Amino acid sequence: MPQIDADRLLADLYALREIGKYKTGVHRPTFSPDDVRSRHWLAGRLTEAGLAADIDGIGNVIGLAPGDGPKLLTGSHLETQPRAGWLDGAMGVIFGLELARVLPGGIDVAGWADEEGHYGSFIGSRSFCGLLSEAEIDTCRYREDGTPLRTALQNAGFAGRPRQVMDAARYRGYLEAHIEQGAELENSGQQIGVVTAIVGSHRFRIVFEGQQNHAGTTRMAIRKDAGVALVRLASAIYDRFPAAAGPRTVWTTGTITLDPGAPSVVPGRAEMLFQFRDTDPAILARLEAVVEELVAEANKGPCKVSIASRGRSVPRAMDAGFQDALERAAERHAPGLHQRMPSGAGHDAQVLAERLPAAMLFVPSIGGISHHYTENTADADIVRGCQVFADAAADILGR
């Protein structure tokens, strides 16, 4: 079995953290100068490790191992959420780099572009899988200020480069390591999570149109209060979902907007962003039917209620054999301290799973915190996770 170098692994992670460092975390939005710098840094490290590394036309860093023989694709993403953690994405990329060193000729490494969705939805991994059209790239814009993706690629120096597309025949499959971003491993005292499936999510914008009016002079009987309609629907969703959901389904209203949003004005328009996630497509379909039914009921009230999809991602089961390989390796280095679990968060592995057998390994997140600069994982958990990851890769490669 390969032996990873713990000091080298941590030194690489610490070096990457310096690029866009923010407090104890990192601020490295996709195609920001620090993000671009981190991509060139990674390409350099991969080249030093003996890979043929380059950055392609969508910003993916791809390092290809030399020689023939079986190959595994590994990776994760380099960019971060705003003022977020140092491990989300970065850890999986550096695990790949370390594996490329200890399993020479067997490991390709990818630093996918924009898993965090600053410009679109998994544009990096989808591009590599041949699932991103030029037309879609034309429509992508930076969610903060509307800058077109094309402009950002131009500014980053990546425009005009070819986009690299996967040769699926090259690979045994795809492995990705990631922090859990939840507290399940920590709460149960486990050290390794073997991901069984990545949830699918259905995301919606629900808009309520009523009539804006004076909150003092407009009698209740004639109001068309869009805020009331929203509150009623949101509450009905929370009444109805538990019976229709599965044991691990999650549903969230993260955004509510009342317009004009003044204390003495009856809201004329309201909007909520609602989503739910599960690994079972049947549950997702059932919940969507519940939402549609509730919207139809809401339309019997004084406001006009409309629902639009903001996207649906399909749940992706992880490869059973890869899960077994990860579990065997986990049992070697964390005996009795590993568990199988779904991923409630989305990851590039769900895209790669459309083309290759794929699997993921989780390490614990301290306090379950993620997308915040205090996100962290104990060094010992990082090192152990990488060794388990390397063992499983060697197993899959037949070494």
Asked if residues 391 and 5 have their Cβ atoms less than 8 Å apart, the reply is: no
Between residues 251 and 373, which has the closer beta carbon with respect to a copy of itself?
A: 251
Binding mask 158-197 for a copy of itself (x = CB under 8 A): ----------------------xxxxx-------------
Q: Which of 36, 65, 228, 349 binds a copy of itself (CB under 8 A)?
A: 228
- Rounded (10°) angle between helices 379-397 and 320-333: 130
Residue 13 backbone dihedrals phi, psi, to 5 degrees: -60, -45
Query: What letter would DSSP give residue 162?
Result: P
Out of 85, 89, 344, 357, the residue judged to bind a copy of itself by CB under 8 A = 344
Taking CB under 8 A as the criterion, the residue among 101, 172, 224, 232 binding a copy of itself is 232
How many CA atoms are closer than 13 Å to the CA of 272, on its beta-carbon side? 22
Residue 258 touches a copy of itself, criterion: CB under 8 A: yes
Residue of 155, 213, 299, 339 that binds a copy of itself (CB under 8 A): 213
**CA–CA distances in Å: residue 49 to residues 56, 76, 104, 392:** 19, 18, 8, 20
Rule CB under 8 A: say whether 120 interacts with a copy of itself. no
Considering only residues 147, 151, 196, 253, which one is a binding residue for a copy of itself as defined by CB under 8 A?
253
Tell me the closest approach of the beta carbon of residue 286 to a copy of itself, in angstroms.
16
Asked whether position 30 contacts a copy of itself by CB under 8 A, the answer is no
Which residues, in sequence order, are bridge partners of residue 300? none
Q: Distance of CA 94 to CAs 120, 314, 316, 359, Å?
A: 24, 28, 24, 17
> What would the x/- binding string for a copy of itself be over residues 69 to 98, using CB under 8 A?
------------------------------
Closest of 307, 246, 236, 310 to residue 281, by C-alpha: 246
- The Cα 26–Cα 30 span in angstroms is 12
Do 291 and 159 form a contact (C-beta atoms < 8 A)?
no
Residues that bind a copy of itself (CB under 8 A): 180-184, 199, 201, 203, 212-220, 222, 225, 227-228, 231-232, 234-235, 238, 242, 245, 248-258, 261-267, 273, 275, 277, 310, 343-346, 368, 370-372
